[in-house]
Amino acid sequence: MKFFLDTANPDEIRRALRWGIVDGVTTNPSLIAREGRPTDEQIAIICDLVDGPVSAPVIETETRAMTMEGRSLARIHPNVVVKLPLTQDGIAACSELSRDGIRINMTLCFTAPQALLAAKAGACYVSPFVGRLEDTGAPGIDLIRDIVAIYRNYGFETQVLAASLRGPAHVAACALAGAHVGTMPLKLMESLFLHPLTDKGLEQFLNDYQKTFAFEAISGR
């Protein structure tokens, strides 16, 4: 499963890139607004940092306006993936833009039929929101499994980009369910490294090593 970082903050991106595990970046209007720059400027900064797909969201909500904005975003950098909402207007814009070779990420997906529409419209990615769905009492991981199975049944090339992941268990469950990509904030990505037994084991190994060589130094070996 590919890892995308869900942020618009360049410092967070630089920090995560050091690990060599980040395959792309996703953004949304809320994340971009926090950085205080217009979308096109912020996306250009991110694309200069990341050698991978960068999802750039449209702000417009009507098909023609979304299509025009999507074309403008796609011209910023070859890595841009235009992010559209999974609405009737969004699907229509996806169909038009994808026919012209512009990659699309259909976001705010909460049902398998919505994901089917995204694939038929030619989307490169569909983003089911696991955590937000589970907030309503619905099984978010089941949605990932259903979409993966439907796409496999019909040979759709659209990739399942699991979003709204709330913890390491979500990441593992989405990987087991066959999601192609998991996008997550920096805090969650950092938490994937952590386990108390890893820290305890490393401490024990280092202590044993130090004791052995301290004894040899004292004994003159």
Active site residue 83: yes
Task: Give the global pTM.
Answer: 0.92
Structure tokens at 76: 């910023």
The total number of structural domains that make up the chain: 1
Does the residue 216 lie in any domain?
Answer: no
pLDDT of residue 199: 84
Catalytic residue among 2, 83, 187, 211: 83
Does the residue 217 lie in any domain?
Answer: no
User: In terms of Cα–Cα distance, which of 129, 136, 125 is closest to 55?
Assistant: 125
Does the residue 181 lie in any domain?
Answer: yes
Burial of 158 (C-beta count, 10 Å sphere; 0-12/13-18/19+)? buried
Tokens 């512009």 correspond to what residue? 102
Does the residue 66 lie in any domain?
Answer: yes
d(CA 152, CA 154): 6
Q: Please work out, in degrees rounded to the nearest 5, the angle formed at the alpha carbon of residue 16 by the alpha carbons of 39 and 57.
A: 20
Upper half-sphere CA count for residue 45 (Cβ side, 13 Å): 18
Show the domain range for 115. 2-194
Does the residue 207 lie in any domain?
Answer: no
Does the residue 204 lie in any domain?
Answer: no
* Per-residue confidence in pLDDT tens, the chain, 221 aa: 999 999 999 999 999 999 999 999 999 999 999 999 999 999 999 999 999 999 999 999 999 999 999 999 999 999 999 999 999 999 999 999 999 999 999 999 999 999 999 999 999 999 999 999 999 999 999 999 999 999 999 999 999 999 999 999 999 999 999 999 999 999 999 999 988 888 888 888 888 778 877 655 555 55
**Cβ-proximal residues to 101 (8 Å cutoff; 6+ apart), any chain:** none
Does the residue 145 lie in any domain?
Answer: yes
Does the residue 203 lie in any domain?
Answer: no
CATH (domain of 89): 3.20.20.70
